[in-house]
Structure 1
């Protein structure tokens, strides 16, 4: 039994299988999931678990080299936007339109659905390569 990190067996497997430049999506309750892309549904009730809780847990267990958000997050969900800027300091960040974001979900290894019920609380986390502590 794992004693730290992501305990969800489905998420843990996805993270272990990621290669360099593979990516996952963490989405709110309304983000559509393209056909053929696996979905791990964590939503329990509105807001539970939150976008931030899920991103924190996954980012702590994943080597992230790039983050993508929808540009609409800046004005429509400034709290999430500020959170992303603070959480991923020093990591490449990219913005695109929400329509482009939804198209990108079609290349994800998985979409992880949170219980977040605020608009544009979605991100793409692209895997980097972990070479150990230096």
Structure 2
């Protein structure tokens, strides 16, 4: 066994294959997953495994540049919104509001992987845009750092709380 590592072989392999800008979609139990999607089903019972548990695990495993979700989360499910803020504070990720329809119709078909939870948590569908370690790139003195990396580094150093 691998201590403090993902034990699910398909999930571990899929995350290792993700690159910059790939989309990891984490959904609730009822999300309509496209039939041809690379689907990893972690839901085994209503409410188990919860989407927040999956997001907390992913936060430890991958760099995320952006977290997209239905803007209604902020107004219609403030506790979920607060939980997402807590998970991604200091990560450098930004929040992007979208619609449930956009998640279903446009983002899901583009996702490198769709991870289904057993969550019955309303509005609990999140598109994570994979990134890279902003401190590992552009380290040589004669290379100009891209503004996006400067900004992500700042958000991480300042332990910024993401907000819609």
Is TM-score (shorter-chain normalized) higher than 0.5?
Answer: yes
Correspondence list, 1:75-90, <5 A: 75-89=75-89, 90=92
**What is the CA-CA distance between 1:112 and the residue it aligns to?**
0.5
Counterpart for residue 96 of structure 1: 98
Distance apart, 1:34 and its partner CA: 1.3
Partner of 1:50: 50
Q: Point out 4+ residue stretches in structure 1 off by more than 6 angstroms.
A: none
Helix, strand or coil: the match of 2:66? strand
CA RMSD of aligned residues (A): 1.6
Gaps spanning 5+ residues in structure 2: where? 140-164
Alpha carbons 2:59, 2:88 under 8 Å: kept = no
Matches within 5 A, 1:65-76: 65-76=65-76
Q: How many residue pairs get matched? A: 133
Aligned match of 1:125: 128
Residues 93-117 of structure 1 deviation map (CA, whole Å, 9 limit, x = unaligned): 1010111121211100111011101
TM-score, with normalisation over the residues of structure 2?
0.75
TM-score, length basis structure 1:
0.91
Contact 2:28 2:117 in 1 (8 A): yes
Deviations 1:73-98 (Å, cap 9, x if unpaired)? 22332221111112112311101011
The structural deviation recorded for 1:46 is 1.2
Q: Flag the structure with larger Rg.
A: 2
| Ranges in structure 1 where 5+ consecutive residues have no aligned partner | none
Q: How does 1:11-26 map to 2 (within 5 A)?
A: 11-26=11-26
- Structure with larger RCO (C-alpha < 8 A, sep 6+): 1
